[in-house]
Structure 1
Amino acid sequence: MTAGAPARRGGFTLVELLVVCALLGIAAAAAAWSVRRPVAAARAELAADRLLAADGAARTLAVRRGEAVRLRFDPSAGTVTRVGAGGRRAVVAELPLAAVRRAGAPAGGGPVELTVRPDGSAPTYAVRLVGADETAHWLLFAGGAGHAVRLPDAAAVDALLALDAD
Structure 2
Amino acid sequence: MRWLDGIMDLLDVSDTGRKAKDLLCKNHTLQDEIASLRLEIDAVKNQKQEKEKKYFEDTETLQKAMKLKEEILTEETMFQYTGQLNVLRAENAMLDSELENNKQSKQVPETEVESDRSRLAAATPDRGQGQTSQRPGTCLPESKRREVMLAGPNEVRCD
Which structure carries more strand by proportion?
A: 1
TM-score over 0.5 for the pair: no
Q: Which has the larger radius of gyration?
A: 2
TM-score (ref. length: structure 2): 0.31
